[in-house]
Structure 1
């Protein structure tokens, strides 16, 4: 993957964006009985985010309104809409009364591909396949990865070590209990970065996009997630060359199939000192 992407083309943080959490008034119940006073909780903000390529609206996702440049870039690359970061020439984030538009300026070749495979992903939080107009558009043939030398010797304890560090790096979820997380861990199991979103796919795209922005390699560590492992998550990791994906909950059968085809190591049920590795 080319590293010609220019981070300086990104728009600065927009103070007009909604906050990632909002306060709401609640009445708590203890031991089955409502308390006699009102209280306040923080809930996750869920905002429509339209991804617009060269003026053409391609997808509308429900997302947490933070790290949207990374989200858009990660989505475009992990969905195969852009073949390399160099095909993205600039990103602008614009808030309006309906939600947020992320406008990407992309190369002419990328625009032609977008027109050929245009689809609408409208509605649900971080949905993966809703909106494709034909079963023939399902991409079930992942790229075959070349596993790095260190992967074969990676002990499961190192994968689990990364999960123990995740809660401390989830400030939004600590407030709301409603945010998924995608984290990048080194081959030693040190969790270096966590991205959060109300949608698990969105959290992964934010993480992938952030690493592309920083021109960091994808094969010198692995990804951990606070969700199940779906087909779409495995497919995104395989497309960008991530060698290992580990999740707190179970994978689906299609996720296991895609991981095996790609040669991607897949772990599920990573909890405490327990984990399941899915192997051929």
Structure 2
């Protein structure tokens, strides 16, 4: 996974770009009718139920827009919330609060939705040893926020991007000329560039699982679109040689069945690409 420094750099880029996109050469609505010297206070009001996420990010946004803004935190990321809860108060320049408002709300609404869905999936896996993973099926430009929200919801992050883990999927395997070639060429490449990256290899059937197991050094085998019977068989074949992951159209009705097949991980793109924003508002007080 990426380092903390890299992650924070991603957050800085997101904030700077989002404020540039939204404010441009100035928030003329506020500049037109609110004196530069005016101060005010606002609250982050929850109008929904679920898991709150994005409070720490909101504080970063406020600090970027105006270091003089003060935030009083009442609820932390990961808190269970219901309609009427207040997550925090922010106080300071009225113009600055309004400039930051939309980015704070957009980010927190989506992050909270993702954290809520992740927590729901984690609950479905309770009592098993299987963990839920996200994917790269994220909104372009704000991946760091969405993966952060998955962590807040109790899930785990898959690789962050193409550069921090090797994942040999069906197209890689076919273009490389087969599973064994794909793995051995990858291992040779990593040795050549002196880089240590974990290798995940996708299997489409049990025969491919057997072939993957012939080449040591694979970190995890991805069992893509396997049925329950074949998943159990694959887990038995793999044993302790490497970790296992199920993926491919797994939903709330099937996720526990796959977990009970004994896989270590289940990945789901739905955690980040199929959510409904939590209803939140920033209101003056």
Q: TM (normalized to structure 2)?
A: 0.25
Determine which structure has greater relative contact order: mean sequence separation of CA pairs < 8 Å that are 6+ residues apart, divided by chain length: 2
Structure of higher CA gyration radius: 2
The answer to which structure has the higher helix fraction is 2
